[in-house]
């Protein structure tokens, strides 16, 4: 059943995911994803102390506490890394776990039985957070949703205002610093944003899943585009979409499959992970599917070239071990397919039970064989490879040789015969 | 307007240390204006460290560096830097044009956008290095030489008077090497001073008119004709035999040339 409360849950989730995603992009690009992990845990003592001092659970004091401890995490990590000569990730591991433990202890000792407890920090509750309300002038406002919207606006504003500064300091910190864009200072700007964002996201998705919100949509967007601005926009859209689809699948999909209800934040994370998996499989940049298709295409091309070369050699009446029949015998299916394709491209025509190159086919095949034999010559004269090994080396090179490289080759090896004594087909004058 | 007769770079007693272990000792150096200065020395001689210390990217243990008679922070706009190509992540989601435009960021100023005016400047620089056709390519799709040319274009848009280039010739193709040296000559003609960390001893005499030979300290400095000599090479590369051979080979070739 779709209820009004579901809309609020989706909205809270989407706002949270979008604020996390836009700062997450810079974490991913700066290769400091683990810094998000560290800060989301280490801010706990900051929260606990701020709560202890003010008794206020959602005010600016909490944000201040988080920022102070978030920056402290980064500073301490650098200090231990440099002074203690401990590896950076190890230093980070020491700092954030210690601070997190400190935070847990403060909560258990001083704040037991108050409405801040360890499980609320660890897991959060999207469903509960979406219901918090306050009344002002007779209107009812959703407390958490307003908070999340403010943080999202802040993140977007800072990233928009400092876009080129964040870009250059992420890409080339040394140059940025010499241009007066101090990379170290921007590092802390980012850390402050991460701290504020994670703290606000705590009671929505918890301190563990907030890492997923920071990293997964950003990593997915990274696979889908090659422009920074677009990457940030896509990551935010994916985060929002994950929230909406996550909640919808809780409402419709789970009951349909007879599964019990589950956490909204958990389902949201599962959704964005599904997006990431899809991106890994299908992205144009590194998608497994595209790689496979390219690989198959290359294989097809090389096999067709082999058949063409063999036909040319047969017509030269110099049958040898890469003779047509041998290819046909070894790869009967692929051979039929290649002939079919070559016929369709008007490179080959049937001639009784045999095949013959067409004029087009001959021009093409001549170029292949020329390339092959020139390479054999080149390798033989320059690399001291035994004659019976030449074929394989040349065969792998001939397919990637374009016109200009071919002519350069022809200039360096001005012989008319290859090392086996076979004639090198000359470049045909324009016919 | 810009006074180029003032010494572009003066270094006094510069010492740099990592974990209290000095890597550069008492560097004293003055570069003549409008020259191409080669910085040569074996691996670990502190060539990159010297540039980074000059540009305040790493702390100095002691010493003073003046550019055009002033502290670096006052003349930032007049100083350009080309880091080593390996120092950045080439998978970063930016185009060649974006990278070149980064050279303008100092002039554009904080919080401002990169407007079409700056993109035009960047395009012109790409054209100068013969890379205009690749302006919209993502940078990982460029070859090593093309990437280096993008870096060079980025330095050009900085429109500085003093440049530091860290191994611009490392791992580039012949066409790029030629493009870089052409640009260097143009910069020199325009009265600019360029420092280049260089490895190929064969081309030192051809490319640079001034030389800083470095091995944790200044072994020799001066006009290339005067200091590129066997005893200085032995002192610079001493103890590293393969490099010594290479250096002596370079000497021999130079001897036969003139």
What is the DSSP secondary-structure string of B210-228?
EEEEESSSEEEEEEHHHH-
User: Does residue A312 surpass a pLDDT of 90?
Assistant: no
Residue in chain A nearest B87 by alpha carbon: A172
CATH code for the domain defined by A291-412: 1.10.10.10
CB contact under 8 A, A171 and B88: yes
CB contact under 8 A, A164 and B114: yes
CA angle at B200 for the pair B198 and B204, rounded to the nearest 5°? 75
CB contact under 8 A, A165 and B55: no
Question: What contacts A49, CB < 8 A, 6 or more positions away?
Answer: A65, A106
Among A164, A165, A171, the residue with its CB nearest the CB of B92 is: A171
Contact A163, A29 (CB under 8 A): no
What pLDDT does residue B3 have?
47
Question: What contacts B3, CB < 8 A, 6 or more positions away?
Answer: B68
Structure tokens that stand for A110 in this block: 């001083």
What pLDDT does residue B155 have?
95
What pLDDT does residue A222 have?
94
What pLDDT does residue A81 have?
87
In which residue are the tokens 């001689």 written?
Answer: B45
What pLDDT does residue A431 have?
40
Quick: pLDDT tens for B139-161: 999 999 999 999 999 999 999 99
User: Does residue A429 surpass a pLDDT of 60?
Assistant: no
Contact A46, A242 (CB under 8 A): no
CB contact under 8 A, B111 and A174: no
Residue in chain A nearest B106 by alpha carbon: A179
User: Does residue B250 surpass a pLDDT of 80?
Assistant: no
Instruction: Average the pLDDT over A427-431 and give the result.
Output: 50
Most confident of the ranges A283-292, B64-73, B235-244: B64-73
Identify the band that residue B92 occupies on the pLDDT scale cut at 50, 70 and 90: very high
Percent of chain A with pLDDT over 90: 32
What pLDDT does residue A138 have?
80
User: Does residue B258 surpass a pLDDT of 90?
Assistant: no
Quick: pLDDT tens for B98-109: 999 999 999 999
Structure tokens that stand for A366 in this block: 């001549």
Euclidean distance between CA atoms A398 and A405, whole angstroms: 10
User: Does residue A162 surpass a pLDDT of 90?
Assistant: yes
- What is the CB-side half-sphere exposure of residue A268 using CA atoms within 13 A? 33
**A257 or A427: which carries more pLDDT confidence?**
A257
User: Does residue A370 surpass a pLDDT of 90?
Assistant: no
Quick: pLDDT tens for A112-158: 666 666 666 677 777 777 778 787 888 888 888 998 999 999 999 99
User: Does residue B244 surpass a pLDDT of 80?
Assistant: no
Q: Which residues pair with residue B143 across a beta bridge?
A: none
Quick: pLDDT tens for A289-309: 888 888 888 888 888 888 888
| Chain A nearest CA to B36, separation (Å) | 21
What pLDDT does residue A51 have?
84
Instruction: Please report the DSSP string for B108-158 in residue order.
Output: H-TT----HHHHHHHHHHHHHTT-GGGTTSBGGGS-HHHHHHHHHHHHHHH
Longest CA span, chain B: 58
Euclidean distance between CA atoms B153 and A282, whole angstroms: 35
Strand pairing of A139-142 and B36-40?
A: unpaired
* DSSP code of residue A417: B
Q: Which residues pair with residue B79 across a beta bridge?
A: B162
What pLDDT does residue B207 have?
93
What pLDDT does residue A199 have?
85
- For the domain B9-257, what is the CATH superfamily, name and number? P-loop containing nucleotide triphosphate hydrolases (3.40.50.300)
What pLDDT does residue A212 have?
93
Strand pairing of B36-40 and B210-214?
A: parallel
Q: Which chain B residues contact residue A162 at CB under 8 A?
A: 110-111
CB contact under 8 A, B105 and A181: yes
* Helix (H) or strand (E) segment spanning residue B163: strand B162-165
| Chain A nearest CA to B93, separation (Å) | 4
A29 touches chain B (CB under 8 A): yes
| Chain B nearest CA to A188, separation (Å) | 17
Q: Give the domain ranges of chain A.
A: 4-286, 291-412
The dihedrals phi and psi of A417, each to the nearest 5 degrees, come to -125, 150
Euclidean distance between CA atoms B258 and B254, whole angstroms: 6
Radius of gyration of chain A, Cα coordinates, nearest whole angstrom: 32
Euclidean distance between CA atoms B235 and B41, whole angstroms: 10
Residue in chain A nearest B100 by alpha carbon: A168
Euclidean distance between CA atoms A130 and A243, whole angstroms: 13
Interface test with B, best of A27, A167, A175 (most B CBs within 10 A): A175
**B23 or A172: which carries more pLDDT confidence?**
A172
What pLDDT does residue A230 have?
96
Contact A28, A195 (CB under 8 A): no
Euclidean distance between CA atoms A192 and A66, whole angstroms: 9
Q: Which chain A residues contact residue B19 at CB under 8 A?
A: 85
**A356 or A273: which carries more pLDDT confidence?**
A273
Q: List residues of B whose CB lies inside 8 A of any A CB.
A: 19, 52, 55-57, 76, 79, 81, 83, 87-89, 92-95, 98-99, 102, 105-106, 108, 110-114, 138, 154, 158
With 0.95 as the threshold, say if the pTM is over it: no
User: Does residue B59 surpass a pLDDT of 70?
Assistant: yes
Q: Given 3.40.50.920, 1.10.3470.10, 3.40.630.30, 1.20.970.10, which CATH number is that of A4-286?
A: 1.10.3470.10
Quick: pLDDT tens for A66-118: 889 989 998 999 899 888 888 888 999 999 999 999 988 888 888 766 666 66
* Helix (H) or strand (E) segment spanning residue B24: strand B21-31
Structure tokens that stand for A14 in this block: 């989407």
- What is the CB-side half-sphere exposure of residue A208 using CA atoms within 13 A? 9
Among the residue ranges A44-58, A180-194, B179-193, B207-221, the one predicted with the least confidence is A44-58
Q: Which chain A residues contact residue B105 at CB under 8 A?
A: 164-165, 168, 176, 179, 181
Euclidean distance between CA atoms A269 and A275, whole angstroms: 10
Euclidean distance between CA atoms A153 and A210, whole angstroms: 18
* DSSP code of residue A422: P
Restricting to A residues 82-111, those with a Cβ less than 8 Å away from any Cβ of B are 85
Measuring CA to CA, which residue among A95, A87, A27 is closest to residue A103? A95
Identify the band that residue B256 occupies on the pLDDT scale cut at 50, 70 and 90: very low
What pLDDT does residue A208 have?
83
Euclidean distance between CA atoms A340 and A212, whole angstroms: 51
- Helix ranges, A225-331 (H): 228-248, 254-256, 264-282, 288-315, 324-330
Average pLDDT in chain B: 88
User: Does residue A409 surpass a pLDDT of 90?
Assistant: no
- Write the Ramachandran bin of B137: left for phi over 0, alpha for psi from -120 to 50, otherwise beta: beta
Euclidean distance between CA atoms B80 and B103, whole angstroms: 9
Euclidean distance between CA atoms A411 and A242, whole angstroms: 60
Longest CA span, chain A: 98
């Amino acid at each position: 059943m779709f209820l009004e409360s579901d809309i609020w849950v989706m909205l809270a989730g989407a706002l949270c995911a979008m604020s996390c995603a836009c700062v997450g992009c810079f974490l991913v690009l700066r290769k400091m994803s683990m810094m998000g992990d560290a800060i989301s845990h280490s801010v706990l003592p900051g929260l606990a102390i701020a709560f202890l001092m003010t008794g206020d659970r959602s005010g600016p004091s909490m944000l201040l506490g988080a920022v102070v401890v978030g920056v402290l995490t980064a500073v301490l990590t650098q200090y231990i890394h440099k002074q203690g000569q401990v590896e950076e990730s190890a230093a980070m591991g020491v700092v954030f776990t210690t601070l997190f433990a400190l935070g847990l202890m403060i909560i258990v000792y001083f704040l037991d039985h108050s409405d801040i407890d360890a499980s609320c920090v660890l897991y959060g509750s999207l469903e509960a957070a979406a219901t918090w309300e306050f009344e002002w002038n007779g209107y009812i406002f959703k407390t958490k949703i307003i908070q999340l919207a403010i943080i999202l606006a802040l993140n977007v504003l800072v990233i928009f205002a400092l876009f080129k500064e964040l870009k250059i300091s992420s890409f080339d910190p040394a140059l940025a610093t010499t241009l007066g864009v101090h990379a170290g200072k921007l590092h802390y700007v980012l850390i402050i944003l991460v701290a504020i964002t994670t703290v606000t996201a705590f009671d929505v998705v918890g301190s563990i899943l907030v890492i997923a919100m920071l990293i997964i949509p950003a990593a997915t967007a990274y696979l889908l585009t090659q422009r920074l601005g677009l990457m940030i926009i896509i990551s935010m859209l994916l985060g929002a979409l994950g929230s909406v689809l996550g909640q919808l699948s809780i409402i419709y999909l789970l009951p349909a499959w007879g599964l019990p209800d589950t956490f909204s934040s958990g389902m949201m994370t599962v959704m964005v992970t599904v997006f990431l998996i899809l991106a890994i499989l299908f992205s144009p940049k590194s998608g497994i599917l595209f790689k496979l298709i390219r690989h198959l295409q290359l294989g097809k091309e090389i096999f067709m070239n082999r058949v063409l070369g063999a036909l040319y050699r047969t017509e030269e009446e110099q049958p040898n071990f890469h003779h047509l029949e041998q290819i046909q015998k070894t790869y009967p299916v692929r051979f039929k397919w290649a002939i079919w394709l070559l016929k369709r491209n008007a490179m080959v025509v049937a001639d009784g039970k045999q095949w013959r190159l067409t004029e087009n086919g001959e021009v093409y095949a001549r170029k292949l064989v020329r390339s092959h034999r020139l390479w054999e010559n080149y390798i033989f004269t320059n690399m001291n490879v035994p004659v019976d090994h030449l074929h394989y080396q040349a065969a792998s090179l001939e397919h990637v040789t374009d016109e200009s490289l071919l002519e350069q080759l022809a200039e360096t090896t001005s012989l008319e015969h290859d090392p086996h004594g076979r004639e090198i087909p000359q470049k045909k004058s324009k016919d | 307007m810009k006074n180029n007769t003032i010494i572009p770079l003066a270094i006094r007693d510069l010492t740099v240390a990592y974990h209290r272990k000095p890597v550069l000792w008492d560097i004293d150096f003055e570069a003549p204006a409008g020259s191409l200065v080669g910085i040569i020395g074996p691996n670990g001689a502190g060539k990159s460290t010297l540039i980074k210390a000059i540009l305040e990217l790493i702390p100095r243990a002691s010493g003073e560096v003046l550019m055009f008679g002033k502290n670096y922070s006052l003349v930032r706009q007049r100083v350009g830097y080309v880091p080593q190509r390996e120092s950045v992540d080439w998978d970063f989601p930016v185009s060649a044009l974006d990278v070149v435009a980064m050279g303008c960021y100092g002039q554009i100023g904080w919080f401002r956008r990169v407007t079409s005016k700056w993109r035009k400047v960047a395009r012109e620089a790409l054209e100068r290095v013969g890379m205009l056709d690749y302006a919209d390519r993502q940078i990982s799709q460029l070859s090593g030489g093309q990437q280096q040319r993008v870096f060079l274009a980025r330095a050009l848009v900085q429109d500085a008077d003093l440049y530091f280039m860290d191994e611009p010739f490392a791992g580039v193709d012949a066409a790029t090497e030629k493009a870089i040296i052409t640009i260097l000559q143009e910069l020199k003609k325009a009265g600019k001073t360029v420092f280049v960390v260089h490895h190929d001893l064969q081309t030192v005499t051809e490319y640079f008119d001034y030389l800083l030979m470095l091995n944790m300290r200044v072994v020799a400095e001066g006009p290339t004709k005067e200091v590129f000599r066997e005893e200085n090479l032995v002192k610079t590369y001493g103890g590293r035999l393969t490099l010594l051979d290479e250096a002596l080979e370079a000497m021999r070739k130079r001897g036969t040339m003139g």
